[in-house]
Structures are given as structure tokens and as C-alpha cells.
Structure 1
């Protein structure tokens, strides 16, 4: 008679393709969690990694995913706000350009347009190109004679610029990409409105999402993001998984799939117009003996796949 292997929640929710490269730590009991909170002195390096994980009170076993490049601890932490949210589809229509870094301006312009539209009957899109042309570069990134488009700015930068400087309508200042441009004369600029609220709290983002799309940044791993297709993006799950950084996205819906809470985001990279991202998962980079590079700053502390939310109300 064969013994059946027990299956944890981590096995059910997060099954990597290469199972030989992962291990699962048993779920942490409430007693152990409370005990660890009471410890005053222990190894600082261990505690710096362990306590932030314990504070999330994982709802599953902690899965260690060993990749070719580094290791990650991944676990399930179910979000308390769990509802299916659907907004107007026209809110999710964004400009795509695979050649240039325009997403920060495109999302900022869309959010400004939606907030200004809310008392009106017809949505008027305001110009992302205007921000691409005239939003100032960070001082450390100033390069003489560089063309307008590819600026290392964020959605937050774009929203601040639009609120301060106002914008023309999209139909009056259409998308043209990177170019050399002089400030126009006689162009009508419209006052942008909104209460800008950056936050790292997913609960605040989900609350705002009932009324308006929310900008966020997504932790992107390749090849996971390239091959996810219509499935749910869960972060690193392959031996070849490599972290490539944070990318701007716009959340415009949530869904519940097999009891998992999923965000539906507009992801204007590589023509992935819609991406479903698991909200019930958290991860952190963990050290290993053959580690040669410094850990990624963005993954030093436990994080959801979506982070750095930007709300405009």
C-alpha cells in the first residue's frame, strides 16, 4: 500500500513547472508567530528576513522557488477585500508603442481624463503626447538635445505635471512619439482636477477601484510574463525566471477565479493588452550560498506582485 503525499495550499496555488527546484515550508502556526514577535534578541540577519514574512501571517506553506539566478520565498496571503469589480471598458483603452517609454504618460493622461469626465456625459481624452513633449526630465537625467519621448518618469510624475500645468485635448495634440518640438502658441489647455493619493496599501487601491482605475507598478519576471497568455500571472515559477524590474500598469477590474483574487490590468508592453495578476500571493528574495549579486531593492521586503499604487480621485 502506498502512502499518499499531503498537498499544501502552496502546492495547489503555486506549482512551478520544475518541481525539483522548489521546497515547501510547513504553514506557520499562530503560537509560533506570537512567540517570534516576543523575541527581543536573535540573529539580526535572520530576523530581518523572517519577521516581515511572519507579520503577513501566511495562509499557506512558504514555497522556496530556486531559479537559475536567485531564490524567492512565495506564500499565499488572502486579501480581506474580495469582490468582483468591473469598470467602464472605455477606461481601459490605452495607446501602445513598443519602441518608446510612453506608458507613464499614457496612464497618467487616462486617469486625468477619467476624473475630469466623471461629472460629464462624454469622456474626453486629454493628451499624453503633451506630457511626453514637455514634462521635465529629472535633473540627473538631463541630456542635451535628446528627443522628447523616452523620459525616466513615473505615472506619479505625469499626474503631478498634468495637475500643475493643465493639458490639451488628445484631438488637439495627438500622439506622435519621440520628436523635437517647440512649445506651441494658441493651444487651448484645460484645467485638470483630482486628489492625488500615492500609497503602498493594496486595500486602499481596491477601495478606490470601485470608482476609478488605479495606477500601479508590477514586479515583472521573464519568461513568465511572455508565456502567461490568458492564464493568471503568479510571479516566478520557472528555473529560468529572471527579475527584470517594475513596470507601470493600470488596474481596471478584479475577478475571483477558483477562490483566488485576481486583478485585471492594462499592461502596455509587448502587446499584452490585458494581464490577470494574482493578488493573493506575496514574495521576497532570499539569499543562497552561491549568490554573487546584491539583492534587488524592490524585493528585499515582502511584497505583492502589484505595488506602489497611485490613486487619483
Structure 2
């Protein structure tokens, strides 16, 4: 996905944003890798300028500013164990397997994925892992979601670290493509771990200047 600064591409971003995942929740249908690549090139608003409120339909346009934050690169991790080691230092991005209806009804309980015959894998959803804990001798990781403070426990969800899933179709069953793709081998509810590496202050200021110059040049060409 090529993110840039002319009006046609701005309109394209609006289209990308308006993908409805569930009632009153909208997301870009892209993974964390694409998100990090975007931040490297274009920057991202800081949380104090755009407070966490979930993913509503009407999101303000991305406005170039000296207050945007940039990253140097991002690092991929292969296993949950590697992710937990890095989590001691900083948050970790991950993809969570969303099974319904368990996910939407989770509240303050620990999320364990499918717990009934009616459970269905809907998609993988990006979350930010922020902490680990233990409840009734069950270890879990605490993750921040993009659903806003009304979801889970104030916008956070506890994800069990003790669940391992493997998809084995029963004879005569219609094979679930998503389940086969993500769970053909034993794995946890979480995967696709990654985190950003930051620029030095001087290099970040240089990146801001480059991006602002590109924006001004594009605005002049549109006029």
C-alpha cells in the first residue's frame, strides 16, 4: 500500500479506513507490518494529540505536524517466549485470534479462545501486549485493544498463555480455511509478534523535516 500526499491517495485512505469489522468498530484491513512501514515513512500522531477512543467511523485526517512520531525500523519475533522476554522492556505488537462469541463477551474474564461447539474463528486482530499476570494459577498476558474503553476491562483484555490450539477437521466436515491457515500446527492464541525501534532525537527531527517538505511540495502541486 503506497501512502502519500496527493488528494487521490487521501481518498483511498478513507476507503481503507471504512472497513466494518463489527458494529461501531472500523479498522484498516492491514497488518502490523504495514502499520510500522507507514509510521517509518509518514509518522504517526502522538497519543496526547489523539486520545485512545477505539476505532470509530469518522477519524480525523492525518495532518503532518512537528509533533508526529517516527520509528527507525521494526523487529519481528518468532515465538511467544521471545515476545515475553522483550515485553519486560516495552510493549509488543501481536495478532490475536478472535473467536466469537467468546471475544465480544469477555469483560474482565481471561480470554481462552473457543470454549464451546458454537465458537467461530473470525479473524486475527492486532493488539498491543503490555504486561503479564496470573489469576487462579493461570498465566495471562494483558493486551490493549483498539475497541475503546467500553470493551473488555477498560479497553484491555487478559489472554491466557496456557492455551494451545490445533485445528483437526472431523470426517465429512467442511474445512475452515482460516482455521487451517492459522492453526494447522499447534500454536497459542497470539502470533506475529513485533515491536518498533526508535530513532535518535536528532534523526527523528530530520525525518519530520523531510516529511513536512514533501507535504508542502504536494500541496503546492495540487493547487
- TM-score under structure 2 normalisation? 0.65
Task: Choose which of 14, 20, 36 in structure 2 pairs with 1:159.
Answer: 36
- Considering only CA atoms, is the larger Rg found in Structure 1 or Structure 2? 1
- 1:26-175 counterparts in 2 under 5 A? 136=3, 147=14, 149-150=17-18, 151-167=28-44, 169=46
Given that 1:196 and 1:312 are in contact with CA atoms closer than 8 Å, whether structure 2 keeps it comes out as: yes
Residue 206 of structure 1: CA displacement?
0.6
User: SS of 2:165's equivalent?
Assistant: strand
1:271 equivalenced with 2:151 (yes/no): yes
Residue 230 of structure 1: CA displacement?
1.8
Match in the other structure for 1:200 = 78
Structure 1: distance between partners of 2:121 and 2:81: 25
The C-alpha deviation readout for 1:233-284, integer Å capped at 9, x for no partner, is 1111112111112111111110122332211111233723121111122111
- 1:259-298 counterparts in 2 under 5 A? 259-269=137-147, 271-272=151-152, 273-296=155-178, 297-298=181-182
Given that 1:285 and 1:295 are in contact with CA atoms closer than 8 Å, whether structure 2 keeps it comes out as: no
Structure 1: distance between partners of 2:128 and 2:79: 16
Match in the other structure for 1:226 = 104
Residue 225 of structure 1: CA displacement?
1.4
Structure 2: distance between partners of 1:281 and 1:171: 36
RMSD over aligned Cα atoms: 3.3
Q: Specify every segment of 5 or more residues in structure 1 that has no aligned partner in the other structure, as ranges.
A: 1-133
Q: Summarize the Cα distance change of 1:180–1:236 in structure 2 as closer, same or farther, 3 Å threshold.
A: closer
Given that 1:147 and 1:178 are in contact with CA atoms closer than 8 Å, whether structure 2 keeps it comes out as: no
Structure 1: distance between partners of 2:182 and 2:37: 23
Residue 136 of structure 1: CA displacement?
2.9
User: SS of 1:160's equivalent?
Assistant: helix
Given that 1:166 and 1:189 are in contact with CA atoms closer than 8 Å, whether structure 2 keeps it comes out as: no
Q: Summarize the Cα distance change of 1:164–1:292 in structure 2 as closer, same or farther, 3 Å threshold.
A: same
Structure 1: distance between partners of 2:38 and 2:160: 31
Residue 179 of structure 1: CA displacement?
6.6
Given that 2:46 and 2:69 are in contact with CA atoms closer than 8 Å, whether structure 1 keeps it comes out as: no
Residue 193 of structure 1: CA displacement?
3.2
Residue 207 of structure 1: CA displacement?
0.9
Residue 155 of structure 1: CA displacement?
2.3
Residue 226 of structure 1: CA displacement?
2.6
1:307 equivalenced with 2:191 (yes/no): yes
Aligned residues: 174
- TM-score under structure 1 normalisation? 0.48
Structure 1: distance between partners of 2:60 and 2:71: 29
User: SS of 1:302's equivalent?
Assistant: coil
